[in-house]
């Protein structure tokens, strides 16, 4: 499903951050839909098959668009965050246009295709660090971190070769919780990160987070949806991790 052209144009205008940019953004929004018809990660990659930073930047903004839409609506705060990332990276006008295209299409599947695209970052630790930091900034741009965005960043970090503790440590909004006395053990910090809760979260909130994640990642449910063997194995591993994390938190916090 494509966004309405008026929405695409408005977002492009905000990203370009000027009155003439707003007019140009409206035109770009219409032209992109009509000319490129980009509706998936595969079509985006076909569009930006050039080498080096162009493809890298486009993939990063695909992730940022995915996070901006994870809560169901892209806000002006998300647009400002995307514009800030472009400014931080010092992107050329041409690269910015490709990144805007990628940002539009960020709601595409986060399945096998995206996993394959991110796995090369296992060999590029510093690039992976910068990308994950940018993802946290986008996820928190609206003022609150929704659970789906949190899950996505942990998942992408895992595909890049990072464990949950290392990924969570890049989130500036979680550092205060990680520094609490009760959260100093690395296993406990990892358990909190996996469930997306804080050391001071109420037991009821921790239980809800655990049950929601367990339901989403249970291998039997994925098998019924036609998941691949690789996806089933990953879901099984994820389920075990969630169960261990929940057991550790219950033991540390003293609730059942």
**pLDDT reported for residue 36:** 40
Same domain? 168 vs 131: no
Task: Give the separation between CA 246 and CA 241, rounded to whole angstroms.
Answer: 9
Same domain? 114 vs 200: no
Task: Give the separation between CA 128 and CA 125, rounded to whole angstroms.
Answer: 5
- Is 100 buried (19+), middle (13-18) or exposed (0-12) by CB count in 10 A? buried
User: With helix as H, strand as E and coil as C, how does 212-237 read?
Assistant: HHHHHHCHHHHHHCCCCHHHHHHHHH
Domain coverage including residue 217: 163-256
Task: Give the separation between CA 129 and CA 68, rounded to whole angstroms.
Answer: 19
**pLDDT reported for residue 167:** 86
Are 106 and 69 a contacting pair, CB within 8 Å?
Answer: yes
Task: Give the separation between CA 34 and CA 32, rounded to whole angstroms.
Answer: 6
Residues with Cβ < 8 Å from 170, sequence gap 6 or more?
129, 132, 133, 136
- Domain boundary residue, one of 144, 177, 193: 144
Whether 150 maps to a domain, the answer reads no
CA distances from 241 to 152, 179, 200, 244 (A): 16, 23, 21, 5
Residues with Cβ < 8 Å from 132, sequence gap 6 or more?
153, 156, 157, 160, 162, 167, 170
Residues with Cβ < 8 Å from 89, sequence gap 6 or more?
57
Instruction: Determine phi and psi for 143, rounding to 5 degrees.
Output: 105, -25
**pLDDT reported for residue 234:** 76
Same domain? 225 vs 125: no
Same domain? 112 vs 170: no
Task: Give the separation between CA 122 and CA 110, rounded to whole angstroms.
Answer: 18
Closest CA to 217 of 158, 173, 134: 158
Residues with Cβ < 8 Å from 214, sequence gap 6 or more?
239, 242, 243
Task: Give the separation between CA 174 and CA 140, rounded to whole angstroms.
Answer: 11
Closest CA to 158 of 191, 188, 121, 130: 121
Same domain? 134 vs 196: no
Same domain? 69 vs 13: yes
Whether 157 maps to a domain, the answer reads no
Instruction: Report residue 99 CA to chain centroid gap.
Output: 16
- Domain boundary residue, one of 109, 144, 179: 144
Whether 84 maps to a domain, the answer reads yes
Local confidence pLDDT in tens for the 256 residues of the chain:
344 444 455 555 555 544 344 434 443 444 444 444 445 555 555 554 443 444 788 889 999 998 988 877 788 889 889 999 999 888 888 888 888 888 888 766 556 678 888 989 999 989 999 999 999 999 988 887 887 888 889 889 989 998 877 888 888 776 544 444 444 457 787 788 888 888 888 999 999 988 888 887 777 777 777 777 777 777 787 788 888 888 888 888 888 7
Is the full-model pTM beyond 0.75? Answer: no
């Amino acid at each position: 499903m494509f966004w309405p052209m008026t929405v695409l144009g408005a977002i492009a205008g905000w990203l370009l951050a000027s009155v003439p940019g707003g007019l140009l953004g409206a035109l770009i929004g219409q032209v992109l839909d009509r000319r490129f018809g980009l509706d998936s990660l595969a079509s985006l990659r076909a569009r930006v098959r050039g080498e080096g930073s162009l493809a890298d930047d486009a993939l990063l903004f695909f992730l940022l668009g995915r996070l901006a839409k994870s809560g169901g609506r892209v806000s002006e705060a998300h647009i400002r965050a995307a514009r800030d990332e472009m400014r931080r990276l010092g992107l050329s006008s041409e690269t910015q246009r490709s990144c805007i295209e990628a940002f539009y299409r960020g709601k595409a599947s986060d399945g096998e295709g995206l996993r394959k695209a991110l796995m090369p970052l296992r060999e590029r630790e510093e690039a992976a660090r910068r990308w994950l930091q940018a993802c946290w900034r986008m996820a928190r741009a609206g003022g609150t971190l929704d659970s789906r965005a949190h899950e996505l960043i942990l998942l992408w970090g895992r595909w890049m070769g990072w464990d949950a503790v290392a990924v969570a440590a890049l989130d500036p909004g979680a550092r205060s919780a990680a520094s609490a006395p009760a959260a100093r053990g690395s296993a406990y910090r990892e358990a909190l990160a996996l469930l997306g809760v804080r050391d001071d979260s109420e037991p009821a909130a921790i239980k809800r987070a655990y049950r929601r994640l367990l339901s989403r990642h249970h291998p039997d449910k994925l098998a019924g949806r036609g998941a691949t063997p690789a996806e089933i194995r990953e879901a099984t591993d994820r389920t075990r991790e969630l169960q261990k994390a929940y057991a550790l938190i219950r033991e540390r916090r003293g609730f059942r």
